[in-house]
Structure 1
Amino acid sequence: MTKVEKDLAPIYVVSSDDQKPEPHITSYDKIRENRRQNKYNRWIDTGNDERAAQQRFKEDFFFVGSLPKFKLKRTDKFFGIGSCFARNIERELSAQGMTCLTEGTNIPQEFYTAKRDPRAAMNKFNIPSMIDEVERTFNPEHKEPGRYIEVGLNKYFDPATSGLGLLTLDQHAIVRDCIKETTLRLADADCVIITLGLVEAWFDRASGLYLNTSPHGRAMKLEIVREKASWIKKKPNRFVHMRPNFAFLRDKMHHLIKTISTHAPNAKIVISVSPVPLQATMTSDDVVASSTLSKSLLRVVAEDARDSFDHVDYFPSYEMVMSSPREHTWEDDEIHVKSDLVGQITRSFVDLWIE
């Protein structure tokens, strides 16, 4: 295990002393009730049971049964936070006539590196970045701590966004205004859907912020040049990569939920885990192993949040994707989920959660 440098130790500190989740203990009466109610409790088909997992694996789409803690209404207002999979869910909900508060985000298309959903810059891939966006939007005393990274003459990279090219500070201000205007609508939400994406993250010593994406390649090259300069060799690297443990992630997840509930007090929260894999790992592990660890940690964090808060639930979209046949699931890049499957998943959410 890599030793944590003294000046980095504070970023790993959790804010809560309660880091010992209670075990999930079920009484005998509850077990009997579960056996009566749960029609999806068996893996092997013991007698023409189409709901057994063994049979569902034969279908083009693997539906995962779930018993919601609460119900939502079709007239409710939804707000999505998280990775690109959150944008897919929002589009499908909108197509079914429901109100998504992120609609109307008007970030200029020319600011992106490729054709994207206008909301793509809002994609958040790790929990600290989600916290940062909410606090940055709603805290009137918030200061911008030099978060833009200069990589050329009047060319800046914003590691708190996603998919944008190098922009001027004036252009970044336009993006920031658009994102803030949209995020402020969170206060009106009846349901916030959080899609957890990744665990691996970068920390920027200069700004004191967790980054939403990797530092720009030019910024990393400038760091390498700086490190080779003899007179500053003792100065630590600006960017630090981290793969947090469960205690850290649980603490940040609880912080995120409490922050959202402060500013959107009437909102129920539904958590999902994005099936989109880690595109590249900064560790020595195989990318598949690292991505599996990432999703496993986030799945446990989501379960803990469901157990810890009455107004928080978990929607098993991740399990639906990962259990469906690959030929019906993934685009050719083996990263993005096919739109038809996203539609089926969203319809499952509507059928289960929305009255």
Structure 2
Amino acid sequence: MERTSPYQGLGARAYWRTGYAETDYPPADIYRAKWALSKDDKIVTAGSCFAQHVGRALRKNGFNVQDGEPAPSHIPADDLTTYGYGMYSARYGNIYTTRQLRQLLDEAWGDAPAFDAIWQKDGRFYDALRPNIEPNGFASEADVRTARAEHLAKVRAVFTAADVFIFTLGLTEAWFHKPSGQVYPTAPGTIAGKFDDKIHGFVNFRLAEVRADLVAALTRLKALNPNLRVLLTVSPVPLTATASDAHVLAATTYSKSVLRACTGELYADFPEVDYFPSYEIVTSSKAGAAFFEPNLRSVTEAGVARVMAVITAAHLGGAPATEDAPASMTKAERQEKRANREERKERRRAGKGA
């Protein structure tokens, strides 16, 4: 039959009805890996909080996810993530923006600007670029500088040896040091330090800025390892709060849209860059609120497992192991999950009595 439209004869995944509305969920064909991921590949992970799930699921399925900054033996398993260990391939904590990633790599290779890198609280000292890795801070500024130098050495080592870099983009909003342009992972005064509007500013990065920062970061990494492959994802976790003056829902939509547009452009422009649709799987109309906890922000264990099953199956060629709740979950995370479960039970009991 002669084609009268360019939409005739496309595969089922190209049509809303056959590719989404009438399929199981997530659709079996939602992700086609651009390149193969081997269990021998040295995988480095970084990004926003959702990135932890990707690394954990791959490690559980036998992939070679790097841990270049392992925890000392005296820290209990329950406290590992509280101190920033076991979350990513180095102890950098959450990297929410592409500017933060770019500046971390710049600093690791000797191009860091001078800025107020050390914050104080209650007589203790904190690394402003990873303020939550030591919940009680350091004893002195010298201790902060020593720990950071050791950390940057680990960053250089793990990225230099990487075969695959998996990065989850989380936010477009950030707070920064006005004199130097250095961005922070959290606003000054939130964990430590003190906010001063004379030296601290707010920025909501635009698409061109997000893209430029990510391209610059990947260019640096590719110079170290020309064969490096990159897998990008976008976190489905909404903003906790926004400083943009928009409603938090609109601000979240803006942020995620910019990040998704950036990853789409890099996927199209660079053969070594792949994109995995974790954001789409969790936030689609078919998933609804089912993949979120009652706060409509935290992704449920079932939602995470569903997403991770798609990525691991694509690279394993079969049914992967599901992701259980992490053994290294903090006490606070366990308490939050228990509270969420009790809240759901109370709602069900209230519904039955109505």
Aligned to 2:12: 39
TM-score normalised by L of structure 1: 0.74
C-alpha contact (below 8 Å) 1:80/1:90 kept by paired residues: yes
- Which residue type is aligned with residue 55 of structure 1? E
1:63-111, CA deviations, whole angstroms, 9 ceiling, x for partnerless residues?
561333222222222111211111111011111111111365327869x
- Which residue type is aligned with residue 118 of structure 1? Y
Aligned to 2:161: 188
Aligned mates of 1:303, 1:352 — CA distance in 2: 19
Aligned to 1:10: none
C-alpha contact (below 8 Å) 2:175/2:201 kept by paired residues: yes
- Which residue type is aligned with residue 43 of structure 1? W
3-state SS of the aligned residue for 1:157?
strand
- Which residue type is aligned with residue 217 of structure 2? L
3-state SS of the aligned residue for 1:329?
coil
Among 130, 154, 157, the residue aligned to 2:101: 130
Aligned to 2:137: 167
3-state SS of the aligned residue for 1:203?
strand
3-state SS of the aligned residue for 2:14?
coil
Among 307, 325, 330, the residue aligned to 2:292: 330
Match status 1:150 vs 2:115: no
Match status 1:54 vs 2:21: yes
Give the deviation of 1:281 after TM superposition. 0.2
- Residues 274-353 of structure 1 correspond to what in structure 2 (within 5 A)? 274-323=235-284, 324-353=286-315
- Residues 94-109 of structure 1 correspond to what in structure 2 (within 5 A)? 94-102=59-67, 105-106=70-71
3-state SS of the aligned residue for 1:79?
strand
Aligned to 2:328: none
Question: How large is the RMSD of aligned CA atoms in angstroms?
Answer: 3.0
Aligned to 2:349: none
Among 45, 49, 64, the residue aligned to 1:84: 49
Gaps of 5+ in 2: 318-354
Aligned mates of 1:94, 1:285 — CA distance in 2: 39
3-state SS of the aligned residue for 1:242?
strand
Of the structure 1 ranges 189-198 and 259-268, higher mean CA displacement relative to structure 2 is found in 259-268
Give the deviation of 1:279 after TM superposition. 0.7
C-alpha contact (below 8 Å) 1:272/1:318 kept by paired residues: yes
Aligned mates of 1:35, 1:180 — CA distance in 2: 54
3-state SS of the aligned residue for 1:328?
coil
Aligned mates of 1:118, 1:339 — CA distance in 2: 21
1:91–1:113 distance in 2 versus 1, CA, 3 Å: closer
- Which residue type is aligned with residue 184 of structure 2? L
Aligned to 1:232: none
Aligned to 2:170: 197
C-alpha contact (below 8 Å) 2:61/2:312 kept by paired residues: no
Aligned mates of 2:132, 2:156 — CA distance in 1: 18
Aligned mates of 2:241, 2:80 — CA distance in 1: 19
Aligned mates of 2:131, 2:237 — CA distance in 1: 15
Aligned mates of 2:38, 2:81 — CA distance in 1: 36
C-alpha contact (below 8 Å) 1:68/1:352 kept by paired residues: yes
1:114–1:77 distance in 2 versus 1, CA, 3 Å: closer
- Residues 218-237 of structure 1 correspond to what in structure 2 (within 5 A)? 219-221=193-195, 223=196, 237=198
1:74–1:113 distance in 2 versus 1, CA, 3 Å: closer
1:150–1:317 distance in 2 versus 1, CA, 3 Å: closer
1:192-244, CA deviations, whole angstroms, 9 ceiling, x for partnerless residues?
111100001112024431222212246445x26xxxxxxxxxxxx10110112
- Which residue type is aligned with residue 340 of structure 1? A
TM-score normalised by L of structure 2: 0.74
- Which residue type is aligned with residue 301 of structure 1? C
3-state SS of the aligned residue for 1:100?
coil
C-alpha contact (below 8 Å) 2:80/2:86 kept by paired residues: no
1:89-137, CA deviations, whole angstroms, 9 ceiling, x for partnerless residues?
1011111111111365327869x89846624542100001101122222
C-alpha contact (below 8 Å) 1:146/1:207 kept by paired residues: yes
- Which residue type is aligned with residue 49 of structure 2? C
1:241–1:109 distance in 2 versus 1, CA, 3 Å: farther
Give the deviation of 1:42 after TM superposition. 1.4
Give the deviation of 1:314 after TM superposition. 1.0
Give the deviation of 1:344 after TM superposition. 2.5
C-alpha contact (below 8 Å) 1:70/1:353 kept by paired residues: no
1:321–1:63 distance in 2 versus 1, CA, 3 Å: farther
Aligned mates of 2:104, 2:65 — CA distance in 1: 18
Aligned to 2:206: 245
Equivalent residues, number: 300
Aligned mates of 1:319, 1:64 — CA distance in 2: 13
C-alpha contact (below 8 Å) 2:97/2:174 kept by paired residues: yes
State the identity %. Answer: 22
1:157-215, CA deviations, whole angstroms, 9 ceiling, x for partnerless residues?
33322633352334433355246415521222221111100001112024431222212
